[in-house]
Amino acid sequence: MKKLKKISLLTLAMLAFAATAGWFSLDKETRGLLTTLPTNRDLLFWSPPQRDAAFRALDRIPLLAKSRVVAAGGTPSPLPPGPPLKLPLDIDAYMAGQRSAALIVLHAGKLRLERYGLGFDGSGRWTSFSVAKSITSTLVGAAIRDGHIKSMDDKVTDYIPQMKGSAYDEVTIRQLLTMNSGVKWNEDYADPNSDVARFNNHKPEEGVDALVSYMRRLPRDVPAGTRWLYSTGETNLVGILVSQATRKPLATYLSEKIWAPAGMEQQATWLLNKTGNEISGCCVQAATRDFARFGQFILGGAMVNGQAIVPQGWMAEATTSRTGIGQPARGYGYLWWTYADGTYAARGIFGQGIFIDPTRKIVIASNANWAGGARDPAASAEREAFYRAVQKAVDDEGGAK
CATH number of the domain encompassing residue 373: 3.40.710.10
pLDDT band at 132 (very low <50, low <70, confident <90, very high): very high
Look at 45 and 382; give whichever has higher pLDDT: 382
List of residues 6+ apart from 380 with CB closer than 8 A:
none
* Average pLDDT value over all residues in the chain: 90
Percent of the chain at pLDDT > 90 equals 77
Q: What is the pLDDT of residue 25?
A: 52
Query: Looking at the domain assignment, is residue 17 inside a domain?
Result: no
Q: Has residue 395 got a pLDDT over 60? A: yes
Q: How many domains does the chain have?
A: 1
Query: Looking at the domain assignment, is residue 361 inside a domain?
Result: yes
Q: Has residue 63 got a pLDDT over 50? A: yes
Q: How far is it, in rounded angstroms, from Cα 95 to Cα 342? A: 26
Strands 362-368 and 100-107: antiparallel
* Helices 131-145 and 232-246: angle between axes, nearest 10 degrees: 30
Q: In the Cβ-directed half-sphere of 296, how many Cα atoms lie within 13 Å?
A: 23
Q: Has residue 58 got a pLDDT over 70? A: yes
Q: What is the pLDDT of residue 2?
A: 38
Q: Has residue 8 got a pLDDT over 60? A: no
Look at 249 and 63; give whichever has higher pLDDT: 249
Query: Looking at the domain assignment, is residue 59 inside a domain?
Result: no
Query: Looking at the domain assignment, is residue 30 inside a domain?
Result: no
Q: What is the pLDDT of residue 9?
A: 44
Helix or strand run (H / E) with residue 354: strand 352-357
Q: What is the pLDDT of residue 31?
A: 66
Q: What is the pLDDT of residue 189?
A: 84
Query: Looking at the domain assignment, is residue 4 inside a domain?
Result: no
Within 10 angstroms of residue 22's Cβ, the number of other Cβ atoms is 9
Query: Looking at the domain assignment, is residue 50 inside a domain?
Result: no
Which DSSP category does 277 fall into?
A: -
Please state the rounded mean pLDDT for residues 59-85.
92
List of residues 6+ apart from 39 with CB closer than 8 A:
none
End-to-end CA distance of the chain: 82
Q: What is the pLDDT of residue 44?
A: 74
Q: Has residue 45 got a pLDDT over 90? A: no
Q: Tell me the three state secondary structure of residue 115.
A: strand
Q: In the Cβ-directed half-sphere of 304, how many Cα atoms lie within 13 Å?
A: 16
209-244 burial by CB neighbour count: b if 16+ within 10 A, else e? bbbbbbbbebebeeebbeebbebbbbbbbbbbbbbb
Helix or strand run (H / E) with residue 210: helix 210-215
pLDDT band at 26 (very low <50, low <70, confident <90, very high): low
pLDDT band at 40 (very low <50, low <70, confident <90, very high): low
Please state the rounded mean pLDDT for residues 306-332.
96
Q: What is the pLDDT of residue 11?
A: 42
Q: With the CA atoms of 107, 386, 118 and 83 taken in that order, what torsion angle do they form, in degrees rounded to the nearest 10?
A: 30
pLDDT band at 219 (very low <50, low <70, confident <90, very high): very high
Which of 34-38, 95-99, 155-159 has the least mean pLDDT?
A: 34-38
Q: What angle do CA 157, 214, 51 make, to 5 degrees?
A: 120
Q: Which residues share a beta bridge with 375?
A: none
Sheet holding 323-324, edge to edge: 110-116, 100-107, 362-368, 352-357, 344-348, 337-339, 330-332, 323-324
pLDDT band at 74 (very low <50, low <70, confident <90, very high): confident
Q: How far is it, in rounded angstroms, from Cα 395 to Cα 398? A: 5
Which DSSP category does 65 fall into?
A: -
Helix or strand run (H / E) with residue 46: none
Interval 242-290: pLDDT, tens? 999 999 999 999 999 999 999 999 999 999 998 999 999 999 999 999 9
- The sign of the torsion formed by the CA atoms of 234, 310, 261, 350 equals negative
Query: Looking at the domain assignment, is residue 33 inside a domain?
Result: no
**C-beta of residue 168 within 8 angstroms of C-beta of residue 157:** yes
Q: What is the pLDDT of residue 292?
A: 98
Q: What is the pLDDT of residue 276?
A: 93
**C-beta of residue 104 within 8 angstroms of C-beta of residue 292:** yes
Query: Looking at the domain assignment, is residue 251 inside a domain?
Result: yes
Interval 225-239: pLDDT, tens? 999 999 999 999 999
Please state the rounded mean pLDDT for residues 338-350.
97
Q: How far is it, in rounded angstroms, from Cα 152 to Cα 145? A: 11
Q: Has residue 14 got a pLDDT over 60? A: no
Which of 16-25, 50-59, 131-140, 387-396 has the least mean pLDDT?
A: 16-25
Parent domain of 298: 67-396
Please state the rounded mean pLDDT for residues 335-342.
98
**C-beta of residue 278 within 8 angstroms of C-beta of residue 249:** yes
pLDDT band at 213 (very low <50, low <70, confident <90, very high): very high
Look at 18 and 121; give whichever has higher pLDDT: 121
